[in-house]
Amino acid sequence: MKDTRIVIVGGGPAGNSCATHAARLGAKVTMIETDVVGGAAHLWDCIPSKAMIATGGAMSFLRRSAGMGLESADPFVDVEALRTRLGGIEARLQGQMSDLLLSQGVEMVSGRGRIVDAHTVVADSAHGERVFEADYIVLSTGSRPRIPDWAQPDGERILTTRQSYPPSTIPTHVVVIGSGVTGVEFVHMFSSFGADVTLVVSRQQVLPQKDPEVAAALEADFLRRGVRLFKGARATGIERLDDGVIVLTDDGRSAKGSHALLAIGSVPNSESLGLDNVDIETCDGYITVDHNCRSNLAHIYAAGDLSGKLPLSSVGTMQGRKIAEHIMGVHDRPHRHIDYDKAASAIFTEPEIADVGLAEADAFAEGRKIRVTKVPFSVSAKALINDDTRGFVKIVSDPATGVVLGGSIVGRHAAELISILALAVNSGLHVDDITETLFVHPTLSEVLTEAAE
Ligand SMILES: Cc1cc2nc3c(=O)[nH]c(=O)nc-3n(C[C@H](O)[C@H](O)[C@H](O)COP(=O)(O)OP(=O)(O)OC[C@H]3O[C@@H](n4cnc5c(N)ncnc54)[C@H](O)[C@@H]3O)c2cc1C
């Protein structure tokens, strides 16, 4: 595969991962990016949202510090300091990513990429047009927030997630529309900053895709904090007032707030990619791909959100790597295809929520025999030491073989702890493999050994 030329369009987690792996494997790689390397993940999505949530977490911790034997404090957000913090994190990550790509010999091109024919990609920029010939093309242009026709974000009072890092003033009362992962993370973020929050939930459960027990734990925490839930209501309009907004819902209710935040999903960045020039198949704008992330054209791949698979940075990164291995012919390992059903995911609320593999509710719906064991963090010495005993660990296993099929964790550090179960699920480990492992004491991970008993 000497001198294989790969052109990648889009430098988010999927594009970067593909570029670095392919370059390491000997390909000549060009990556075209309109904005900054790192992509939406670094600029708008994963990183700034988690950095703001970390600041909010520090505030909640300080408010609850009386339980740790400290004088309790009443912190407030310094918006400018927070903005500087977010900028610093982004600049550092972007610098690291650019250094890595350069050190691998990846050619980085600034511009908007589009396919003109099966083996030609053009990068348009203010300086003109550059043309690149490619043996393989990888499209990884990501997605952007969905804007409904009944709301026009103005960046002042009606916000998308991208206009919230941070808003110029911390809202006094934010109405969050959408109760999926992004919506509930923003509810948590703003409420920990001290804002009143109303959440418009189109179904009867927040996080409709999640295990009902897990969603109930989050709802209970939201209600404890005073978050108002508008359940079974779909937003149909937003009225802008001088000093706020009114969100209207299809059941005739309305929620007044200082700000409204739209968190109702995303749409793919595919319309200006020149897909029609080569007849690439799409579904709702997402590129249709096979288990190797290949489109209907054998030499054109799609990765990350654009592939319409799980919209997670971690998934895009893995897809990028698998594409590089597939193109370069080193695709013969046992883990050569991604099993999306075994991807771990987390929601960075308080308590945190994380899961992997088979969910209890899905197993019941399928009529599948499973063993479910659940242990609350209240039994853990470390949880007591942390003064935070909320949540539980739930493990789903095969009753006949003991193989770990899935699990959910609600509680502090759930997003870190789920990695143990993710390794078990992805490697076919048994519950005994967990109980026989000597974990550190006192740690929250000991609750996993108890749940595996
Ligand atoms: C608020 C929020 C929080 C999130 N938090 C998490 C999280 O905690 N963990 C997690 O795993 N996932 C998270 N996600 C999802 C994650 O951000 C996405 O799955 C991830 O960014 C997708 O990566 P990507 O490489 O496909 O695309 P992106 O990160 O969207 O990058 C695509 C890049 O392509 C560029 N581009 C677009 N069009 C062109 C073109 N024509 N030519 C050249 N370049 C182009 C863009 O400028 C961009 O840089 C979050 C999403 C949101 C909305």
Cβ(245) – ligand 1 distance below 6 Å: no
Q: Are residues 255 and 281 in the same domain?
A: no
Q: Are residues 14 and 139 in the same domain?
A: yes
Domain boundary among 214, 245, 264: 264
The domain of 313 spans 5-145+268-332
Which residue has the least CA distance to atom 8 on ligand 1?
46
Q: Are residues 366 and 278 in the same domain?
A: no
Question: Residue 129 has what pLDDT?
Answer: 96
What's the 45 CA to ligand 1 centre distance in angstroms?
Answer: 7
CATH code, domain carrying 306 = 3.50.50.60
Which residue has the least CA distance to atom 38 on ligand 1?
141
Q: How far is CA 377 from the centre of its chain?
A: 25
Question: Residue 1 has what pLDDT?
Answer: 55
**Preceding omega of 334 cis (within 30 degrees of 0):** no
Instruction: Identify whether 277 is part of a domain.
Output: yes
Q: Are residues 359 and 447 in the same domain?
A: yes
Instruction: Identify whether 136 is part of a domain.
Output: yes
Cβ(163) – ligand 1 distance below 6 Å: no
Instruction: Identify whether 152 is part of a domain.
Output: no
Q: Between the CA atoms of 263, 348, 18 and 307, what dihedral angle is there, to the nearest 10 degrees?
A: -40
Which residue has the least CA distance to atom 17 on ligand 1?
41
Q: Which residues of the chain have pLDDT under 50?
A: none
Atom of ligand 1 nearest to the CA of 307: 26
Instruction: Identify whether 338 is part of a domain.
Output: no
What is the enclosing helix (H) or strand (E) of 261?
Answer: strand 259-262
Q: Are residues 248 and 356 in the same domain?
A: no
Atom of ligand 1 nearest to the CA of 304: 26
Helices and strands counted in the chain (H then E): 12, 25
At 175, list the tokens. Answer: 């109405």
Instruction: Identify whether 41 is part of a domain.
Output: yes
Question: Residue 72 has what pLDDT?
Answer: 76
Atom of ligand 1 nearest to the CA of 112: 42
pTM above 0.75, yes or no: yes
Determine the residue type at 3.
Answer: D
Distance CA 282, CA 200 (A): 31
| CB-count exposure of residue 99 (10 Å: 0-12, 13-18, 19+) | exposed
Distance CA 332, CA 399 (A): 32
At 50, list the tokens. Answer: 């988690």
End-to-end CA distance of the chain: 50
Beta-carbon count within 10 A of 271 CB: 12
Distance CA 8, CA 141 (A): 9
| CB-count exposure of residue 374 (10 Å: 0-12, 13-18, 19+) | middle
Q: Are residues 140 and 283 in the same domain?
A: yes
Q: Are residues 139 and 274 in the same domain?
A: yes
Atom of ligand 1 nearest to the CA of 313: 11
CATH code, domain carrying 368 = 3.30.390.30
Domain boundary among 212, 232, 264: 264
Question: Residue 2 has what pLDDT?
Answer: 60
| Beta-bridge partner residues of 267 | 144
Question: Residue 71 has what pLDDT?
Answer: 83
Distance CA 169, CA 191 (A): 14
Instruction: Identify whether 39 is part of a domain.
Output: yes
Cβ(33) – ligand 1 distance below 6 Å: yes
At 332, list the tokens. Answer: 């013969």
| Cβ-Cβ contacts under 8 Å for 432 (sequence gap 6 or more) | 402, 452
- Neighbour order of strands in the sheet with 158-160: 158-160, 259-262, 173-177, 196-201, 228-231
**Domain count across the chain:** 3
Q: Are residues 134 and 184 in the same domain?
A: no
Q: Are residues 260 and 314 in the same domain?
A: no
Instruction: Identify whether 125 is part of a domain.
Output: yes
Q: Are residues 139 and 272 in the same domain?
A: yes
**DSSP letter at 205?**
S
Q: Are residues 260 and 279 in the same domain?
A: no
Domain boundary among 242, 264, 286: 264
At 181, list the tokens. Answer: 């992962």
What's the 353 CA to ligand 1 centre distance in angstroms?
Answer: 22
The DSSP line for 326-374 is: HHTT---STT-S--GGG--EEE-SSS-EEEEE--HHHHHHTT---EEEE
Distance CA 347, CA 224 (A): 19
Query: Token match 């480990």: residue?
Result: 429
The DSSP line for 214-238 is: HHHHHHHHHHHTT-EEEET--EEEE
- Neighbour order of strands in the sheet with 392-397: 345-347, 353-357, 404-410, 392-397, 371-376
Please say whether the beta carbons of 261 and 164 come within 8 A.
Answer: yes
Distance CA 270, CA 378 (A): 48
Cβ(268) – ligand 1 distance below 6 Å: no
What's the 268 CA to ligand 1 centre distance in angstroms?
Answer: 10
Q: Are residues 272 and 248 in the same domain?
A: no
**Preceding omega of 166 cis (within 30 degrees of 0):** yes
Instruction: Identify whether 153 is part of a domain.
Output: no
| Cβ-Cβ contacts under 8 Å for 87 (sequence gap 6 or more) | none
Question: Residue 335 has what pLDDT?
Answer: 67
Distance CA 84, CA 172 (A): 22
Distance CA 209, CA 342 (A): 15
Q: How far is CA 44 from CA 58, 242, 305, 327, in A?
A: 21, 28, 14, 30
